[in-house]
Amino acid sequence: MKGFLFVVYAGVTIIILSTIYSFYALCFPFKYELFVNACADKYYLESALIFSIIKAESGFNERAVSSVGAKGLMQVMEKTAEYIASIYGISINETDYLFNAETNIELGCAYLNYLFKKFNNLGVVICAYNAGEGRVSEWLKTGILSNSNFSQIPYKETKDYYYKVLFNYNNYINRLKIRK
C-alpha cells in the first residue's frame, strides 16, 4: 500500500510541477528568441532584460501602438528610431519598419545599449526607456531620482513600468536558469 501511495503522490507531484512550468512558460514566453539572443550579444545586453521589456511594452504584439505613437514589440518612437539608427548604422528603409519584429527589436536593443552607455545603471535605464532620457537626466540632476533609490519616481506610469520590468526580468532570469 505504501508503494502505491508513493507512486500516486509522485505522479500528482509531477503533474502539478509540469502544469506550473507550462503556466510559467505561457506567462513568460521566449518569442523571437533567436533574434533577441543575437541582439543581446550584439548590444551587450541580457536576453532576460530584452524579453522583460518586450513583455512590458507590447505583450509580444508586433502591431502594438501606444497612445503617444510608440510602435511594435519594444514600443519605439519614430524619432528615437531614426536617431538610434543614425548612431548605430541600422537600415530602416522599409515603410512600416517599426512593425517588423527584427528591426524593432534591433532598434530597441540599440537604444538600450545607448542608455546603458549614458546612465550605466539598470534601474535608471528602465526609467529612461519609459520616460525618456531627458526627463530622467533632469530627475537625476535635481535629486528626485538616484542610482540606488527608485521609490521617488515622479511619474506613476514610469514607477509602475519600472516595477513591472523588474518583475518580468526576475522571472525571465529564473526561466533561463531552468532551461540550462
CATH number for 116: 1.10.530.10
In this prediction, residue 149 carries a pLDDT of 86
Q: Is 155 exposed, middle or buried (0-12, 13-18, 19+ CB in 10 A)?
A: middle
3-state class (DSSP) for residue 114: helix
With respect to residue 15, please indicate whether it lies within any of the assigned structural domains. no
Q: How many domains does the chain have?
A: 1
Residue 18 covered by a domain:
no
Determine the pLDDT at residue 7: 57
Residue 1 has what pLDDT?
Answer: 64
Check 46, 57, 62, 133 and give the catalytic one. Answer: 57
Q: Is residue 8 part of a domain?
A: no
**Can you give the pTM of this predicted structure?**
0.87
Distance CA 125, CA 56 (A): 14
Q: Is residue 11 part of a domain?
A: no
Structural domain containing residue 152: 30-179
Has 78 been annotated as catalytic?
no
pLDDT for res 17: 52
170: in domain: yes
Task: Provide the pLDDT for residue 123.
Answer: 97
Whether 139 is covered by a domain: the verdict is yes
Specify if 121 maps to a domain.
Answer: yes
Q: Within 28-100, where are the H helices?
A: 33-42, 47-58, 78-88
Residues of the chain scoring pLDDT < 70: 1-24, 179-180
Helix or strand run (H / E) with residue 177: helix 156-179
Distance between CA 63 and CA 58 in Å, rounded? 8
